[in-house]
Amino acid sequence: MLFRVQTTVLKSMGFITLRMNESSPKAANWQWRLGQLAPVSMTGVAVCFLLGSFYCCGINAANILYGFFHPDSIGSVVETGEESAILLFMQLIPFFTIVLRAFCVSLLFFCKRHGWRNLLTQADQFIDHALPSSCSITLLRRKMRSASVFLFIVTFTIHLVWEFVEWVVYMEGDNMTLSSDNFLAPLPITYYAFQGVVIWTLFSSVPFIMSQQLFTCVIMLAMLPQAAMKGLNREVGDETAYYEVQSQFATTRLTSVPRKLLLLTEERVRMWEATYMSTLIFIGRVNDFFGWILFILYGLDFLTLLGFVSNIVNNARSDWQSYAYLFLSSAIFLLYLTVFVCPLVSTQEEGVRIRFAIHRLAFKVERCVTWEEDYLGQSLRESAQRLLKRLRRFETVCQRHTLIFNGAAIIQFTRTFLVGTCTFLLSFMVLAREFFVKEKVAGVIESQHGP
């Protein structure tokens, strides 16, 4: 199994339907009947997680609305003017978007859970039948199993550290203990801290970790076409190097390319085309299953990062612990938006390299073939023309049908998109700082010249 750890987590939360042994005798014995109740029971567990996560979303939404219309309750240092209203709203949304991310991703996967096994089957078939001959299937499967464990440990540890720092900074800043009844401050509701810790851990932290495991599944699925394209680039490069040697003889008009070599290259191009088309189809299936999940993951993580950046710019507290927490949070979610999606971007870039490699191979083939009648017979001429035609057609296919992972066909994971994301974040931070400074200066002038 490719995602053993992630599948175990999803099964334990009830988001993957348990498969019962169909060969079990359907006699009226209590063991078989109890076994038939297991899938229903685990589905009930998943529904409980969804309801609890929805409840946390509602609480955080109420907190945002109350803080937006009562900015003094959150210690805001600016008045809610026309420009600062948006920035104040961004300052309030991080925890809401984190919980909303967990809820939406869990809900989407719950609705699509019956297609999960089909996707895993397609991934296994892709590994067994679509990879180039230069790729080691055994090595790739071992790499996938190691990546499954590694990514689970990394995502779990990062979120665990972030949650611990959050609780310490949040409870110390408000002088809160587990017996305090102001957990939902600034909401004027009595809510004990120990209740909040239990509910938020079960229905916010655990679903978020589950959503991260789905994110890691997309990352590992992206490693498959990435490996296929790397192997394809190696094979095209080796073929080009061979024609490079042949072209040296062709330019000196000593010999021409043997027909057997042209036919062998044409057969290899057919296999490359089959590999490319299988990769294109596989990426399309991954996009169909994870498209909206990727869009929500990336979009809400982006809003969360904007929220933490707004809090850095307009921090109501001056202690170093709060700034350390905000910078840590920003760094973690920036990591999710950039480093974690690198395998998706790398697949697209490997596909672009294929197009250039095919173009280069066609150039070498055309150069090393001697077109004069004295050196090239009719059969060799036809073989060369057929090979060049197939190479150019393959290059056109690579140009028109690129290997791109997308989020609901709205965002496309390319290097340009990642650079644009980082540029927007830096611009937002600078503009937010300018707006807040402007509001502070306006507030000071108004207080000095007021009645």
DSSP line for 24-55: S---S-HHHHHHHHHHHHHHHHHHHHHHHHHH
| SS3 (DSSP) at 406 | strand
**Residue 242 vs residue 106, higher pLDDT:** 106
Q: Which of 199, 39, 228 is nearest to 125 (CA)?
A: 228
Mean pLDDT of the 385-404 span: 92
**Rg (Cα) of the chain, in Å, rounded?**
29
Element (H, E) at 407: strand 406-407
Cβ neighbours of residue 277 closer than 8 Å, sequence gap 6 or more: none
How far is 389 from 187, CA to CA, in rounded Å?
70
For residue 184, the 8-state DSSP code is T
Pick from 298, 306, 304: nearest CA to 424: 306
The answer to the question of residue 303 being in a domain is yes
Q: Is residue 22 part of a domain?
A: no
The whole-angstrom separation of Cα 15 and Cα 112 is: 10
- Are 102 and 207 a contacting pair, CB within 8 Å? yes
Backbone dihedral region of 417: left (phi > 0), alpha (psi from -120 to 50 degrees) or beta? alpha
The pLDDT of residue 183: 73
Element (H or E) spanning 411, and its range?
strand 411-412
**206-251 vs 94-112: helix axis angle to the nearest 10?**
70
Q: Is the pLDDT of residue 206 over 50?
A: yes
Tokens encoding 117: 């096994």
- Within 13 A of 157's CA, how many CA atoms are on the CB side? 6
Which of the four pLDDT bands, split at 50, 70 and 90, describes residue 272? very high
Residue 373: predicted pLDDT: 43
- Exposure of 301 in the CB half-sphere (CA atoms within 13 A): 23
Q: Which of 12-21, 117-126, 173-182 has the lowest mean pLDDT?
A: 173-182
Q: Is residue 24 part of a domain?
A: no
Cis preceding linkage at 186, omega within 30: yes
Q: Which amino acid is at 443?
A: G
Q: Is residue 406 part of a domain?
A: yes
Q: What is the dihedral sign for C-alpha 29, 35, 40, 44?
A: positive
Q: Which residue has the tokens 């950046």?
A: 309
The residue among 47 and 191 whose pLDDT is bigger is 47
Q: How far apart are the first and last CA of the chain?
A: 74
Distance CA 374, CA 368 (A): 15
Whether 355 is covered by a domain: the verdict is yes
Q: Are the C-beta atoms of residues 73 and 186 closer than 8 Å to each other?
A: yes
Compute the C-alpha angle 203/207/211, nearest 5°. 160
Residue 128 located in a structural domain: yes
Domain that holds residue 208: 4-17+32-448
What is the sign, positive or negative, of the torsion defined by CA atoms of 358, 361, 363, 366?
A: negative
DSSP structure string for 104-121: HHHHHHHHHGGGHHHHHH
User: Mean pLDDT in the chain?
Assistant: 84
Work out the pLDDT band at 190, boundaries 50, 70, 90. confident
Angle at which helices 137-173 and 4-12 pack, to 10 degrees?
50
Which pLDDT score, from 0 to 100, does residue 30 have? Answer: 53
Quick check: 217 and 6 in contact, CB under 8 A? yes
Domain membership of residue 75 (yes or no) is yes
Tell me the pLDDT band of 372, cut-offs 50, 70 and 90: very low
Band (321; pLDDT cuts 50, 70, 90): confident
Check pLDDT > 90 for residue 358: yes
Q: How many domains does the chain have?
A: 1
Least confident of 148-152, 259-263, 375-379, 413-417: 375-379
- CA-wise closest residue to 204 among 94, 53, 44: 53
Asked if residue 194 is part of any domain, the answer here is: yes
Residue 313: Cβ-neighbour burial (10 angstroms; 0-12, 13-18, 19+): buried
Using alpha carbons, select from 102, 105, 117 the residue that is nearest to residue 18: 117
